Amino acid sequence: MKAAVYDECGAPEVLNYKEVPDPKLSASDILIDVEAISIEGGDLFNRRLTPPPKPDYIVGYASAGTVIAVGEQVTSRKVGDRVTGFASDGSHASLRALPVDQTWLVPDGVALAEAAAVPISFGTAYHCLFARGALQAGETVLVQAAAGGVGLAAVQLAKNAGARVIAVSSGADRLSTLQSLGVDHVIDHHRSDVAEAVLELTAGEGAKLVVDPVGTTLPASLRALSSDGRLVFVGNAGGGDLTLDLWPALQANQALFGVFMGTKFTVPQVSATVDTLLSQVAQSKFRVFLDKQFPLASAAAAHAYAEYGRPFGRVILLPRQGALA
């Protein structure tokens, strides 16, 4: 099979497109003919900073495609099913073997490129808002990096739940699109101090819930949080150490929750949530934003764009040329 691999961590140029052995299928796996790969923030972080455990290492969390073989113990999937799946590596390839419980059936009406992005973007946003953040209708939620995959999912899910949503991004076009999704207020972090703007918008109270996928923005997120508020931090898109002075949080009786979805997707309740989210995307209840598509052979260029090009939503890799079903 063809894959984008690397032998040492570093800049996007460490990725090489080459022929590698096909994956082996275990009894509880399904083999997928991959048609779309969603480049996730963790893919960029791992390629940049994590030494690969073996030569020709295939990075990548999220991909979708068609089942072409099933292990002998698999009864819930069959050849021909359209599926999307998650694992800690292996997405940047034309074939992928995945444990069946790390995959979801893709409903009619959802393109495979969209389906590749849903589990991590929407699944993570849902977990941050509701499982950890306990968001209630009428509360004010601040979403940092609202133009990213998790951010775009979070603002839509929060508005659907009846929250007052403040979205942080930059640039007139990006802010305008966020407003079209129904967010109540947008903040350009290049033009305004985010915490001061939130306090002004909330008459000094602050946001009851903050979702922060960036990491480097945690001090501002904490300053924007109300007394007794909840701060959910997920990932570290900004890079660097996650450091925070917790004394103000203690004094204000604030709660901080970390979210790492890599260990959550096989939990039955979380997995069922992804099924529901896929169904809601099929019903056009939520929109999956895809910024740009690249052939898998151009994985290095795609990573560079995802890392430095400020995409609005997810960047997609296509192992095949041509339109997706």
pLDDT of residue 115: 98
| Topology agreement, domain 2-120+263-318 and domain 133-258 | no
Cα(5)–Cα(300) distance, integer angstroms? 10
φ, ψ dihedrals at 40, nearest 5°: -100, 160
Q: Which fold has domain 133-258?
A: Rossmann fold (3.40.50)
Give residue-wise pLDDT tens across range 205-217: 999 999 999 888 8
For the stretch 212-256, pLDDT in tens is: 998 888 999 999 999 999 999 997 665 666 677 888 888 888 899
In the structure encoding, which two tokens stand for residue 192, read together? 């305004």
Pair 162, 138: CB distance under 8 Å: yes
Crossing angle for the helix pair 299-308 and 41-49, nearest 10 degrees? Answer: 110
In this prediction the pTM is 0.92
3-state secondary structure of 250: helix
Q: Report the alpha-carbon distance of residue 168 to residue 97 in Å, rounded.
A: 38
For residue 246, which amino acid is it? L
3 touches 93 (CB < 8 A): yes
DSSP 206-249: -EEEEEESSSTTHHHHHHTEEEEEEEEEE--TT-S------HHH
3-state secondary structure of 143: strand
**Token pair listed for 265:** 């997707």
pLDDT in tens, 289-314: 999 999 999 999 999 999 999 999 99
With respect to CATH, is domain 2-120+263-318 assigned 3.90.180.10? yes
Token look-up 């052979």 returns 297
Q: How do the domains of the chain map onto residue ranges?
A: 2-120+263-318, 133-258
